[in-house]
Structure 1
Amino acid sequence: MPVDSATEIRDILEYETIAVVGCSSSPGKAAHDVPAYLQKQGYDIHPVNPFADEILGRVAADSLSAVDAAIDIVCIFRPSEEVATIVDEVLERDDVDVVWMQLGIRDDDAAARAEREGRQVVQDRCMKVAHREFGG
């Protein structure tokens, strides 16, 4: 079952490194403003966007597999139809503990697959709001 308890959310928010798939270079978009907020809170943000060179002062990776750093959380800002493919990339990595699908994004089948492989999953929840509520 996807994570929903305050205790589990608080524990997830203790992680430090977040790859943001679909991170935007456009201020005013949630896919930019949420990672910017998280970065200001001290999280190590790794933007993933094949159409950008740099976001939030960091080199943007073309794909999740191109992120060289160890990742704790993969935060997804892509349509629900793309989640299964992103989870495929997550499962190719040994370092990802959590798949976090932002508000309005969910894929129950992909979530179940990630959970079977030992990853925690959060669906349809804004990480910024959760941080303000449970971790800020």
Structure 2
Amino acid sequence: MTFENPSREHIKELLANAGNIAVVGLSDKPDRTSYMVSAAMQSRGYRIIPVNPNADQILGEKCYPSLSDIPEPVDIVNVFRRADQVVPVAEESVKIGAKVFWLQLDIVNEEAGRIASEAGLEVIMDRCIKVEDAILNPRNN
């Protein structure tokens, strides 16, 4: 069966109910897409939790080396990693009880999607969380 993202209306609902968004692969370099997307989401009121084993703090938030090290609940796991590296991230997302497994634009991995989906997580692939939020929740900034 071919993967299909949830409807835009459902994605809007997932974003509206998002508390903590753990960002796997969040770079501390401001010119990187992961940094720009996360900064934009943070400026729109979302709580970003960086997951980067090589940094102590990004965007004013404490970094964690892995999802399992985060001491609070995670609603969305937003992934900025190559497609061939996301299966372990899906497994860890399941382990921590995340609600949504979100692969950024141009990232698709059917096995990772299946792992997350079979464990009850909502799965979104090949979509930019910042773009979806801007389309579904337009605001005057």
TM-based fold match above 0.5: yes
Identity %: 36
* 1:17-37 Cα shifts (integer Å, max 9, x gaps): 100000011112111010111
Equivalent residue for 1:105, pick from 99, 103, 107: 107
Match of 2:38 in 1: 35
Q: Across the two proteins, how many residue pairs are aligned to each other?
A: 135
Contact 1:2 1:111 in 2 (8 A): no
Residues 9-28 of structure 1: matches in 2 within 5 Å? Answer: 9-14=11-16, 15-28=18-31
Q: Structure 2: which amino acid aligns with 1:44?
A: R
Q: Does 1:120 align with 2:90?
A: no
Contact 1:2 1:120 in 2 (8 A): no
Measure how far apart 1:8 and its partner are. 1.2
* Bigger relative contact order (CA 8 A; separation at least 6): 1
Relative to 1, partners in 2 of residues 1:83 and 1:74: Cα closer, same or farther, differing over 3 Å? same
Q: TM-score, normalised by structure 2?
A: 0.92
Where does structure 1 lack aligned partners over 5 or more consecutive residues?
none
Q: TM-score, normalised by structure 1?
A: 0.95
Measure how far apart 1:110 and its partner are. 1.2
Distance (Å, rounded) in 1 between the aligned partners of 2:115 and 2:4? 11
Distance (Å, rounded) in 1 between the aligned partners of 2:27 and 2:114? 27
Where does structure 2 lack aligned partners over 5 or more consecutive residues?
none
Misfit runs of 4+, over 3 Å = none
